[in-house]
Structure 1
Amino acid sequence: IIVAAYDEENVLKPVIRNLITSNLYPKSMYHIFLGVYPNDEGTMRVARELEEEFPNVHKIVHVLEGPSSKADNLNNVIRNIYEFEKENHIRFQALVVHDSEDVVHPYELKLENYLLEEHSAIQMPVFPLQELPRLSNIFKNMISGSYADEFAENHYRLLLARTVTDAFVPSAGTGFVIRRDILDKFPDGNVFPEGSLTEDYKLSLQFKQMGYDVHYVLEDVSRLRADGTVAREFISTRSMFPSSYGAAIRQKTRWIYGITLQSFKLKDILKNRQLNFISKYSLYRDWKAKFGNLLLGPGYIIFAYFILSSFWDMPPMYPKYSFAWFLMVFISIMMIERQVLRFLAVKNVYGKRSALISSFFPPILPFRMVIGNVINFHATVRAWWLGLMGNNRQKSTKKPKWSKTDHEFLEEEILKRYRRNLGDTLLYKGLIDSKQLNNSLKISKQKNERLGKVLMRLGLVSEEDVVRSVCEITQRTYVDIHLKEYGIRDLKPYSRELLQEINAVPIMSTSKGTVVLTTIDEDEERIKGIFGGDIHFIYTTESRIKKYIDSLGEKGLKDNILKDIEKYLEEGLINIEQVMIALRHSESREDIDNTLRTMGLLANVKEYA
């Protein structure tokens, strides 16, 4: 995961902490690289603290003072990632680009990992964060709400249509995934176009011309609300967008200039034989925004006069029942249809209340739609000025500077809503339905009993379902293989009775510590006191622990595998979580190495004889 950061000391730490603590992908199977600048002391300090706190976070300091451009920052990080791979004998399957203010969905990496089998580039939905709409904040959130409306319409409806019709799908700049086979086409690490203000859009167009489609994915999961109703939640990237007029103008000027005036020329697109007709049409739709947005200003004036002249005695702009009059009626119907489509998109993403404010407050000319169009009009005028008159500062440099937006982030109490609990996880897996979960939660509250115990007692889930889900949520390593097949390590100092009493068994041992198998409810401090030294816990069910202890003294069918794995652990080539993932998918000594290499581990490492 790459995060390019400049002047982000206020948001970077909570963003990365939330990503790591809420994510349900194995922590040892992803790394986060923070691209910072040597002259940005605040962000450098935060990145260093995160690097010290989390072993999978790495600070990448740019060779130049910042800000350069976002593309330049990302490319510098990518080049450093290649060096990191060589030094640590790993190979990443893909890169994921995120911004320094993103709320990353707990299931995002899981979904991306699944889709990478079929798709070389993936774009996740991006939906702006919004306050729950109330009368007191309707006008306060008018500008940020206009972003929510536009992204809901684009990412719920339009990008999905582009994907289905094999049209050009642009990157949104965040939640963007690039598989390794595409990255290998850029051996120098210069993946993102450094001369563009919208490097993400231009790169996705370059991918399309190379024959790689960006796959847009819209998947949702169900969650149970406190009132017992089921909420639909999209696996998406959530971000805070500008709430002031000036910030919105600056950001959208950059987008409009970069996409419509800088990324491509229409004549080149129309002549390009590598693009199909629908891709050319979708690019034309993007390109014409620099003209269409300019018509919004006079269009509103003409429309307002047309409506007023229909009810008051005013000089008619269009004689009644003339061709121009019917044309205005038709355009008005189209505008209402557009409002209805926007209402449906916003309703599916943010709920009915937000949709009503978005599209029908007031009817015909809703405030949020008008303000959004005014911002687009103003930003387009500025983009044209930048394109026609130039920018003295940019003319003096070869590459555009990073014109970034100031960011905010959510408070910890609000972030908790985005994290998973046991009920969410079991519901997501389809092991229970919402009615069963709601009923079990009531019983759990009434009897002051853990939800997992209630669900098992009612026969709705198994012990393994509960323990596995709890381990996923709490980011603990769960073991679901028959470890007795791998033999028992040196247990002479410990009696069978002691191991049964503490429900714990040592599995492997290196100079860096002992790996102990136990259950999620045991007293870990007591276990540490018994075995001594550094202890690395892995977890399973009580029934599996019992079977393992009962098999003491038996020779494992795969006894030699753990001994070889201990060598890899000793050298620091892999860790315990990676071992357990590999064992789950391996049947023999040869399989374990192949599995580890498929996981991107042991790159350029010779197998043990």
Structure 2
Amino acid sequence: MGDWTLLHWLTLMERELLLFAGVFFLIGALDELLVDGLFGWLKLSGRAKRLVVDREDLRCRHLAGTVAVFIPAWREDRVIGHTIAHALRAWPQAEYVIYVGIYRNDPATLEAAMRGAGTDRRVRLVVHDCDGPSTKADCLNRLYRALEVDEARRGQPARLILLHDAEDMVDAAELALIDRAVDHAEFVQIPVLPLPQPQSRWIGSHYCEEFAEAHGKTMVVRNWLGTCLPAAGVGCAIERGMLHRLAQQMGSADAGSPSPGPFSVESLTEDYEIGMRVHALGGRSRFLRVHGDDGSLIATRAFFPARLDQAVRQKARWVHGIALQGWDRLGWGTGSGSAAGSRPVAGMGRLLEGWMRLRDRRGPFAALVLACGYSFFALTALFLLLDFGGLSRPWQADPLLTFLVSANLAAFIWRAAWRFAFTAREHGWAEGVRAVLRIPVANVIAIMAGRRALADYWRQLRGGRLHWHKTLHDRHPAAALETAEIPLAPAHWHSGVMPGREFAA
């Protein structure tokens, strides 16, 4: 190799990048193809039927018991009032209480929450006895302790706990739908539906296709397979007895903590983890994908981060918590680490469980493969320019490389078609086309988030403090509907309640 020039080394690098990225892209494509096949079989066999309910009947139906809605909030003064006011309008029932967790050093959020709640007794504002921010799990545990006090006072436990975020636009039919489902499951998740953002077509709107496919296909397959269902942290409910067991489990695991609760303060993705822990304790989990009779999906709607730095920060937290911490804390079986009460599963169940956890934790490696793939494209572009100057590659593609390129091109077209179909189903064909065009943007964000997650994890391993990278929210769908910033489209995502002036900022 002593006679090799820079061109030879660049050629070798291009070939190795193609081999590495091409092989693992193909493995990932086969993995997705298996999920596609299972979903297609479920649809064709009638096992994944389209469920339709009377939306207005659900909205007005009485609940079987008290529902506690937990909403943690830190510096959410721009959205929390809209969330509370919209929920009170959407849910006419009297059998629920909204617990809003607010920090003592965040008076702006407290004031906004008070304006949104007005004099409605279905809202309880819980001021945390520490300065924020702590972690989302810590705030949720504070709400759990407030619930325990209320239960002791009235002498009756709640029926279930429903989790939402401060920026959510709740669905008018979800409360009664989930209340009915808890008769047959200890954990229930409804879909999350990010809304397109005209002012952020490429960053904020790229969440639309990711959740459309994840909550329109993958979660449906996981629900049918009976594997653990990850909680999204919003639009998910835990039966009260199960939450008590989770709190006991955390108390035994964290014996030194002064006031343990069911949510792990050491996890960046306590919502994802709690879905795993419910399954480990033998709880039944159910993903509810149901449409109203008006054609709209019963789901939680929200605006996701519209800026690149915010999107990268949020996704880095997901990768860090799910992929890296999840490996440490939850392991690969169905048990929650070494937690007492975990149920063992053998045979096909263990294989399926391992497959789903591997899919959940592929984020860091996927970022590496994507980075190699884009580096290959950059080198290929360089060689195309050199070809115009009369400099050709010192090697020619062999059959293996030709096969890899052809197979991955076919896989990309297949994936793009699925992405278009699922996005168009939820948001219309125009957004479906944009979803395909946004694929490179989503990949770049995944690469940046993977790098940041690995850096944060390395700092944590070296004894660094665990940071809660809070996502800032400044826009709420209910306010956007009111000002006609986004169109009202009942066939796709209408909440079931016509917007009015719900909350004055």
TM-score, length basis structure 1: 0.61
Amino acid at match of 2:261: N
Distance 2:407 2:195 in 1: 35
| 1:2 shift after superposition | 0.6
Provide the residue aligned with 1:141 in structure 2. 201
SS state at 1:255 partner = helix
Deviations 1:455-508 (A, max 9, x none): xxxxxxxxxxxxxxxxx999xxxxxxxxxxxxxxxxxxxxxxxxxxxxxxxxxx
Report if aligned partners of 1:6, 1:36 keep a CA contact under 8 Å in 2: yes
Please state if 1:176 is matched with 2:236. yes
Matching of residues 484-503 of structure 1 within 5 Å: none
Deviations 1:434-468 (A, max 9, x none): xxxxxxxxxxxxxxxxxxxxxxxxxxxxxxxxxxx
SS state at 1:172 partner = coil
Distance 1:271 1:74 in 2: 25
Report if aligned partners of 2:244, 2:262 keep a CA contact under 8 Å in 1: no
SS state at 1:276 partner = helix
Please state if 1:382 is matched with 2:452. yes
CA spacing shift, 1:291–1:213, aligned 2, 3 Å = farther
Please state if 1:326 is matched with 2:403. yes
| 1:52 shift after superposition | 4.5
Distance 1:247 1:47 in 2: 24
Matching residue within 141, 147, 158 for 1:92: 158
Provide the residue aligned with 2:264 in structure 1. 193
Provide the residue aligned with 1:578 in structure 2. none
Provide the residue aligned with 1:414 in structure 2. 481
Matching residue within 180, 194, 204 for 1:114: 180
- Number of residue pairs matched by the alignment: 400
Matching residue within 367, 378, 384 for 1:293: 367
Provide the residue aligned with 2:149 in structure 1. 83
Deviations 1:73-118 (A, max 9, x none): 0011011101112213432110000000001011111110111111
Provide the residue aligned with 1:72 in structure 2. 138
Matching residue within 412, 426, 433 for 1:356: 433
Amino acid at match of 1:54: D
Report if aligned partners of 1:15, 1:100 keep a CA contact under 8 Å in 2: yes
| 1:148 shift after superposition | 1.3
CA spacing shift, 1:236–1:148, aligned 2, 3 Å = same
Amino acid at match of 1:293: A
Matching residue within 423, 443, 461 for 1:373: 443
CA spacing shift, 1:235–1:291, aligned 2, 3 Å = same
Matching of residues 267-286 of structure 1 within 5 Å: 268-269=331-332, 273-274=344-345, 276-286=350-360
Amino acid at match of 2:302: S
Distance 1:269 1:218 in 2: 27
Report if aligned partners of 1:306, 1:317 keep a CA contact under 8 Å in 2: no
CA spacing shift, 1:179–1:320, aligned 2, 3 Å = same
Report if aligned partners of 1:51, 1:59 keep a CA contact under 8 Å in 2: no
Matching of residues 534-545 of structure 1 within 5 Å: none
| 1:347 shift after superposition | 1.1
**Which stretch of structure 1 is more off in the superposition, 404-413 or 252-261?**
404-413
CA spacing shift, 1:220–1:211, aligned 2, 3 Å = same
Matching residue within 272, 296, 302 for 2:376: 302
Distance 1:384 1:401 in 2: 14
Deviations 1:355-398 (A, max 9, x none): 01111xxxxxx3x1111110110111111111224498x73x5x
Provide the residue aligned with 1:445 in structure 2. none
Matching residue within 192, 200, 208 for 2:279: 208
CA spacing shift, 1:386–1:402, aligned 2, 3 Å = closer
CA spacing shift, 1:419–1:20, aligned 2, 3 Å = farther
Report if aligned partners of 1:2, 1:33 keep a CA contact under 8 Å in 2: yes
Deviations 1:13-41 (A, max 9, x none): 11110111023xx4211110011111111
Distance 1:40 1:234 in 2: 35
Matching residue within 277, 288, 291 for 1:220: 291
CA spacing shift, 1:35–1:69, aligned 2, 3 Å = same
Matching residue within 292, 309, 313 for 1:246: 309
Provide the residue aligned with 2:296 in structure 1. 233
Report if aligned partners of 1:98, 1:175 keep a CA contact under 8 Å in 2: yes
Report if aligned partners of 1:169, 1:213 keep a CA contact under 8 Å in 2: no
CA spacing shift, 1:242–1:51, aligned 2, 3 Å = closer
Deviations 1:226-246 (A, max 9, x none): xxxxxx321000111111111
| 1:46 shift after superposition | 2.6
| 1:183 shift after superposition | 1.6
Report if aligned partners of 1:266, 1:284 keep a CA contact under 8 Å in 2: no
Distance 1:32 1:341 in 2: 38
Provide the residue aligned with 2:48 in structure 1. none
Please state if 1:157 is matched with 2:217. yes
Please state if 1:130 is matched with 2:130. no
Report if aligned partners of 2:420, 2:435 keep a CA contact under 8 Å in 1: yes
Percent identity reads 27
CA spacing shift, 1:166–1:391, aligned 2, 3 Å = closer
Distance 1:58 1:372 in 2: 39
CA spacing shift, 1:333–1:221, aligned 2, 3 Å = same
Distance 2:361 2:290 in 1: 29
Distance 1:412 1:106 in 2: 16
Distance 1:290 1:266 in 2: 17
| 1:51 shift after superposition | 4.8
| 1:56 shift after superposition | 0.5
Amino acid at match of 1:414: L
Amino acid at match of 1:206: R
Distance 1:218 1:384 in 2: 34
Deviations 1:514-554 (A, max 9, x none): xxxxxxxxxxxxxxxxxxxxxxxxxxxxxxxxxxxxxxxxx
SS state at 1:220 partner = strand
Amino acid at match of 2:426: V
CA spacing shift, 1:317–1:252, aligned 2, 3 Å = farther
Distance 1:401 1:172 in 2: 20
Provide the residue aligned with 2:127 in structure 1. 61
| 1:295 shift after superposition | 1.3
CA spacing shift, 1:387–1:318, aligned 2, 3 Å = farther
Distance 2:187 2:334 in 1: 25
Provide the residue aligned with 1:38 in structure 2. 104
Report if aligned partners of 1:96, 1:177 keep a CA contact under 8 Å in 2: yes
| 1:196 shift after superposition | 0.6
| 1:320 shift after superposition | 4.4
Deviations 1:137-193 (A, max 9, x none): 5xx420012111211111111111111111222111111100112022125661111
Please state if 1:4 is matched with 2:78. no
Provide the residue aligned with 1:512 in structure 2. none
Distance 1:473 1:176 in 2: 24
Deviations 1:182-209 (A, max 9, x none): 0221256611111011111111111221
SS state at 1:118 partner = coil
Provide the residue aligned with 1:344 in structure 2. 421
Distance 2:488 2:224 in 1: 29
Report if aligned partners of 2:301, 2:477 keep a CA contact under 8 Å in 1: no
Report if aligned partners of 2:190, 2:287 keep a CA contact under 8 Å in 1: yes
